[in-house]
Amino acid sequence: MNESLDQDIFEKSCLIFGQTHVFIRTLPSERLLVNHFVILTANIMLVFPTILLNAVSIITIVKSSQLKSKICYFIILMESVTDLTVGLFGIPLFLIFLITGIGKISNCLIAILAYRSSVLPIGVSILTLSALTMERYIAILHPYSYSTQVTKKRILTYVCFGVVVMFGIVILSLAIEGLIKRFTMALAILFFTSAAYIYTKIYTVVRKLACSKNELQDSQVVNNLTRQKMFIQEIKQAKNCFIVVICFFFLCFLPVIVTNVVAGSVNKYKLQAIQNWATTLGLSNSSINSVIFFWTKTLLRKEAIKFLKAAV
C-alpha cells in the first residue's frame, strides 16, 4: 500500500491492490462534525445491549436441552452468534472508521478495512435469516419431509460457506471498485424476493386453513388436536421470523436504497454522513433481532431469567 499526498485538508487517498481509495479524515463544517459525534455516541451506546442481549440468548439456548434440540432454535442460536459478533467486532470496527472522520487515525488501510469489515456481519445475517425462512417454509408447507430436508449439518454448512464467500468479497472489493456494493445489493434483492414469495405462500396456507373448520379438520397437515397445537406453534415462529425480516428490510436495506437515491444530489461529505447513519441503523438490527426472536417468547424469557438468577 502506498499513501499519496492529501487531495486537500479534508481527505486522504491511498493505493491498495492497484485501486485508489479515498476516505474523509476531517469534516469541513461544525454541523457535520456535531452529527459525526452523535453517530459515534449512538454506536458506542449500541455495543453494550448488543453484546448483553445476544450473549444471554446464546447461553440460555446452549444450556437448555429442550431448546437446542430443535432446528428452529438452533438457527436462532446461529443468528444470535452473528449478532453477538456485531457487538464484539462489527460496531467496534465501525467506531474505528468513524474516528478517522475526526482526524485521529490517518492510516488509509485501517480506515477502509474497518468500514468494509463492519458490514460483514449484516451480510451473514442475510444468510442466517434466509436459512430460518426456508426452515419455516418446509415446517409449515412440507412438514412430512422436514426431518430429512432440514438438518443442523446442512444449515451449518450453508452458513459457513456463506461466511467464507462474504469474507472473500470484502477482500476482493479492495481491488475491484464497487464489488461489495453490487454483491450486497444482489444478495439482498434475492433474499427479500424469495422471502416475499415464501411468506406469501405461508400466509395463503394459513388463511385457507383458518377459513373453514372442515378444511382444518381434514387437512393432512393438522389432523388431530396435537397436530393443531404444533401447527399453531409453527405459525407463531413464522410470524416472529416475518417480523424480523421486515425489521431487517427497514433497518438494513431501505436506508441503503435511500442513500443511493440521494447520492447524486448531495456533496460527498453529506453523503458520507447519510451512509454512516444507514450503517448505524443496520448495526442496531442486531439488538432488535434478539428482542423479537428471544425476549418476546415466554419459554425463552423464563429460561433466561432463570439463568440470570442462578448467575447472580
**Which residues have C-beta within 8 Å of that of residue 50, sequence separation ≥ 6?**
83, 84, 86, 87, 91, 283, 286, 287, 290
- CATH 1.10.4190.10 is held by the domain 2-311: no
Question: Which three cell numbers, joined as nine digits, stand for 57?
Answer: 440468548
**Encoded amino acid at 33, one letter:** L
Which has more confidence, 242 or 12?
242
**Of 82-86, 121-125, 190-194, 230-234, the least confident:** 230-234
What pLDDT, in 10s, does the model give residues 215-238?
444 444 445 555 666 666 677 777
Tell me the range of 55-64, 76-85, 253-262 where mean pLDDT is highest: 76-85
Distances (CA, A) of 102 to 21, 109, 118, 153, 244: 18, 16, 18, 46, 34
- The answer to whether residue 2 scores a pLDDT higher than 60 is no
Which has more confidence, 278 or 205?
278
pTM: 0.80
Nearest C-alpha neighbor of 133 from the set 197, 181, 49, 90: 197
* 16: helix, strand or coil: strand
**Helices (DSSP H) in the chain: which residue ranges?**
30-63, 65-68, 71-85, 91-100, 108-118, 120-141, 146-149, 152-172, 179-211, 213-218, 225-248, 254-262, 268-290, 298-311
Q: Hey, where are the domains in the chain? A: 2-311
Asked if 116 and 170 touch (Cβ cutoff 8 Å), the reply is yes
Question: Which three cell numbers, joined as nine digits, stand for 189?
Answer: 434483492
Q: Which residues of 63-73 are buried (b: 16+ CB within 10 A; e: fewer)?
A: ebeebeeebbb
- The answer to whether residue 101 scores a pLDDT higher than 90 is no
What pLDDT, in 10s, does the model give residues 205-216?
777 766 654 444
Q: Return d(Cα 173, Cα 203) in angstroms, integer.
A: 39
Which has more confidence, 195 or 239?
195
| Confidence band of 3 (pLDDT split at 50, 70, 90) | very low
| Confidence band of 15 (pLDDT split at 50, 70, 90) | low
The overall average pLDDT reported for the chain is 78
Q: Length of the chain in residues, anyone?
A: 312
* 5: helix, strand or coil: coil
Q: Return d(Cα 28, Cα 290) in angstroms, integer.
A: 38
- The answer to whether residue 168 scores a pLDDT higher than 90 is no
Average pLDDT over residues 182-202: 86
